[in-house]
Structure 1
Amino acid sequence: MPNVVEALQPALEGAAMRAVYALPQPLRRLIAGPPVRLDDQELALDAQLLLKLQKITGQTGLSAPTAEQARAGMAHATKITSGAPLSGVVVAERTIPSPNGDLAARLYRPKDLTETGPLLVFYHGGGWVIGDLDSYDDLCRFLAKNAGIRVLSVDYRLAPEYPFPAALDDALTAYSYAVDNAAELGSSSDAIAVGGDSAGGNLAAAVALQTTRSGAQKPLLQLLLYPAVDATRRRRSRELFGDGFLLTDHDMTWFMEQYSPDESTLTDPRLSVLLADDHTDLPTAIVVTCGFDPLRDEGEAYAQTLTDAGVPVVARRFPDLIHGFASIRPVGHRFEEALFEVVGNVRAVLDLRKS
């Protein structure tokens, strides 16, 4: 019986969460509490309600005493927040050969997309420690369906078992695989984009930087959702939003200790891409940040650095949202609304390429 209860618990918690979000706005506000205003921004009700429900259930952050516990926590949270799989998307399991063992991957294609087109190689978030293909299945389906593109979601080796630069090595391998096998994946070698959120955004930015500087085929686009780009500085947003907004200051320290235990690597531009000597000629970037996110200021500093280097940049701050909103789309309307805007930017950049 305990195993049955444990198996049902995420579904029951998910049903309860959806019931709360279905309540009239005044009742949701009553549960969430008075509006949260900080740094001339007001937190979206959907985000505040999520944080309140997490607090009620005792969830305080993304880290844990061990990596295994943190991964189990994210898997549990994914089951709670996931709705029914988005329809209209064809999904196929893939395997990417790697010198360090095969990498699991999934190829997403809009059901009605048959012609050759852009492919987004997507790297999941999770502080290089947690996260997997399942926890980002909804987001990849959403991107594929609404941007009208193919998405190749890639698993990579996680820390602390495999510290820096293992994740980046795998990310580069996956990108090279996509370029070399573009035709078989429904794309062309010059139409491969990279993207990711948080730690995945870090990997996408690093892949764009490394391929450009090496003279290899650089990505068509880099989609960076609240990326981690500088492991050497504590910016103002980390002080303002380091507690109580999903990703905590403690989480960030813990993740970095797992991924980069050797402090001498923190300044490596393969990790802290903001510190690279040269950002010229990098791929067009869409940089998304959130107002209530410890990573906000470094993401915006990176967008400005790219702009100063002459790189075309679409920079968008969602002042009312929190870190991680893209992977919890099914929970609240505001999260999905923001994602639709992100998708619109992706489509616009890709359409400009065609013209």
Structure 2
Amino acid sequence: MKTKLKAVAIRNLVKADTWIRWLGKTAKHIAVRSSSIETAHGLIPLRVYQPPGEGPFPVLVYYHGGGWVIGDLDVYDPLCRDLCDRSDCIVVAVEYRLAPEYPFPAAPEDCLAALKWTYEHIAQYGGLPNAIAVAGDSAGGNLAAVTTLQARECLPGVVKGQVLIYPVTDHYDPGTLSYIENANGPVLTRKLMMWFWDTYLLNSPQLEPGQTRHPRATPLMRSDLDSLPPTLLITAERDPLRDDGANFAARLSQHDNNVQYSLYAAASHGFVGLQGPNDHHNKAMSEISDWLTALFSA
């Protein structure tokens, strides 16, 4: 009960403090349509962001961050509008189920279902089903990476690329250098990241007591990282998750995958989107849009 109450309190705090900061500055000319996926577990809400013009457009499926515990379509509406506007891609934002109410593996199940829905239905929205990439930040970056791995087996060839923004790739290790250097933040702290992991895995129907790693939770520890689509991986210097991202980029490269890795000096966790427009955010948006343009024009 305490875990659930804390989760609700943090969700309310994020909505009150973070996303309102630049809500009024987002691209109002972007068309936004609501949809949902019917599953055995209930409906998964989606938002489809459409750029102006005739299309058809390439597609970016976006999984929001928030430690698998917080975040929703409203919190990430400004970022998804900005991504759609700058990249000239349709953006499909996914509101997957959150812990502790829905522990692992609810989130990766929902994210894979959203990718499948996108592939089957995006043509109705002016999208190209043969030009789909996935993206996400923080826990959403984890889910994007995990979804790409799942899709390699059950939806081969569908994911053309992945954009991973300071992704979580392994269970926390307090001895990791970036966890030590950035234990007290800014923004994300070591203590909060540890709580996110504990909450996500608590009461999981697929984990044994004390188990902290799983192929659909900790992609860094997988040995089968070959034959994956091109990756853009972005990290922040002042972030406990910096080494998660750097280590995953290195592992992907070791398996002969195409990886573009960028470390943003002096940036902190959340600099893409959640802190509003700033120099680091704008630079990252340009890098992402340029990378997507090159990906889909290849």
Query: Is this a same-fold pair by TM over 0.5?
Result: yes
SS of match in other structure, 2:125: coil
| Deviation readout 1:78-98 (Å, 9 max, x if unpaired) | 344223131331111111222
Which AA in structure 2 matches 1:107? V
Q: Which amino acid aligns with 2:177?
A: R
Task: Name whichever structure is richer in helix by fraction.
Answer: 1
Q: How does 1:159-174 map to 2 (within 5 A)?
A: 159-174=99-114
User: Of 204, 208, 229, which aligns to 1:283?
Assistant: 229
Give the alignment of 1:131-210 within 5 angstroms. Answer: 131-210=71-150
Q: How does 1:56-95 map to 2 (within 5 A)?
A: 66-84=6-24, 85-95=26-36
Secondary structure in structure 2 of the residue aligned to 1:336 = helix
Question: Which residue matches 2:52?
Answer: 111
Give, as a single letter, the amino acid of the residue that structure 1 aligns with 2:259: V
Partner of 1:345: 291
Could you tell me how far 1:146 is from its partner in structure 2?
Answer: 0.6
Secondary structure at the residue paired with 2:18? helix
1:238 aligns with 2:238: no
Distance across 1 between alignment mates of 2:280 and 2:10:
27
User: How far has the Cα of 1:109 moved from its partner?
Assistant: 1.1
Structure 2 Cα separation of the partners of residues 274 and 184 of structure 1: 36
Native 8 Å contact 2:63 2:94 kept in 1: yes
Q: Distance in 2 between matches of 1:199 and 1:259?
A: 10
Name the amino acid aligned to 1:137.
D
What CA distance in whole angstroms lies between the structure 2 residues aligned with 1:218 and 1:279? 17
Report the Cα offset of residue 283 of structure 1: 1.2
Cα drift, residue 264 of structure 1: 4.4
Contact map agreement 2:131 2:296 (CA 8 A) in 1: no
Secondary structure (helix, strand or coil) at the match of 1:102 reads strand
TM-score by length of 1: 0.77
Instruction: Work out which of the residue numbers 261, 267, 270 in structure 1 matches 2:213.
Output: 267
CA displacement, residues 139-170 of structure 1 (integer Å, 9 cap, x when unaligned): 11111111110000010100000000001100
Distance of aligned partners of 1:203 and 1:265 in 2 relative to their CA distance in 1, 3 Å threshold: farther
Gaps of 5+ in 2: none
Helix, strand or coil for the counterpart of 2:61? strand
The answer as to 2:214 corresponding to 1:256 is: no
What's 1:300 paired with? 246
Deviates more, 1:327-336 or 1:86-95: 327-336
Q: Contact conserved, 2:61 with 2:115, CA < 8 A, in 1?
A: yes
Please state how far the C-alpha of 1:64 moved relative to its aligned partner. Answer: 9.7
Give the distance between the partners of 1:314 and 1:207, measured in 2 at CA: 19
For the Cα contact (< 8 Å) 1:232–1:267, is it kept in 2? no
Residues 208 and 218, structure 1, Cα contact 8 Å, conserved in 2: no
What amino acid is the match of 2:43?
A: D
CA distance in 2, matches of 1:131, 1:227: 15
SS in 1 for 2:28: coil
Q: Tell me if structure 2 keeps the 8 A contact 1:232–1:266.
A: no
CA drift at 1:129: 0.4
Q: Distance in 2 between matches of 1:140 and 1:331?
A: 13
Pair 1:247 & 2:188 matched: yes
Instruction: Give the whole-Å Cα distance in 2 for the aligned partners of 1:241 and 1:78.
Output: 21
Structure 1 241/65 Cα, relative in aligned 2: closer, same or farther at 3 Å?
Answer: farther
2:172 matched to 1:226? no
Residues of 1 paired with 2:21 and 2:283: CA distance? 16
**Following the alignment from structure 2 to structure 1, what is the Cα–Cα distance between the partners of residues 289 and 271?**
14
Count of residues paired in the alignment: 289
* TM-score scaled by length of structure 2: 0.91
1:90 partner letter: A
Partner AA of 1:135 in structure 2: V
Contact 1:121–1:192 at 8 Å: present in 2 too?
yes
Contact kept? 1:218, 1:283, Cα under 8 Å: no
Judge conservation of contact 2:56–2:126 (CA < 8 Å) in 1: yes
SS of residue paired to 1:279: coil
The one-letter code matched in structure 2 to 1:318 is: Y
Other structure's SS at 1:97 match: strand
Query: In the alignment, which residue of structure 1 is the partner of 2:69?
Result: 129
